Chains A and B, each alone.
Chain A
C-alpha cells in the first residue's frame, strides 16, 4: 500500500499560470480532502469529496477547483495562480464517516507563486 501519494513535491509558478496538483490513494477510501497550510498556521480545508462525482467546498475554496471522477484520484486545480496561494498543500483520505474522522495524509506539495 502506497497510501496517499501527491505529485509534484515542489513547484514554482508565475502569477497567472495554472496547474493541477495530483492526489491518489490506494486504500479504497470514499472520502478525500484538500488542505493548505500557511507558515505558522494550522491546516485549512479547501475542498472535500464524499465519493466519486461528489465534491463540496471547505473553508477556503476561492481560487481552486476539484473533480472526483474515480475513487482513487482527487486532483486540485489552480486556474490563475496568485502569491496568496503560496502554501503547502496536503491531500488526505478517510475510509468512512467514522466517529473520530481519522484522516490519512499525503506528504504534501510545496507551491510558490512568484
Chain B
C-alpha cells in the first residue's frame, strides 16, 4: 500500500528553466514532508522539508509547496542546473508514537537537466 506516490518516473528540463516535481500522499496523519536527492552510487541526501502547518518553504533555488486539502506537494527548482540531474525522492512522516521515524518514500523522479 503505497502511501506516497510520485507518478512521474522521469523529467527532462533545459538548463535555466524551472523543474517541477510532484508528489501525492494518501495518509492524512502525515505531519512532515521531505525531499531527498540521490546521485548514482550514493545515498540520498536531504534537500528541503515542510511542516503540514505551512504551505510553502524556500531554500535558495528550491521551493516546496504543500496543498494539504489535495494531499499534494511539489518541489520547484529555479533555475535548473546540470548538477541538479539526479533522482528526487519525496518522503513523509508523522509525529504519532507509531509513525515517528518511519519515513514513507515515493518511488522517485529522475531529473535530467540538458544544456
Contact = CB atoms under 8 A, between A and B. Distances in A.
Interface residues of B, number: 28
Interface in A1-22: 4
Interface string B96-115: 00001111111110000000
Interface in B2-31: 2, 4, 6, 9
A50 B101 CA distance: 9
B43 interface: yes
B43 A107 contact: yes
B107 A58 contact: no
A103 B91 CA distance: 11
B81 interface: no
Contact of A101 (B9, B43, B93): B93
8 contacts: A42-B108, A43-B105, A48-B102, A50-B101, A90-B43, A103-B103, A105-B36, A107-B41
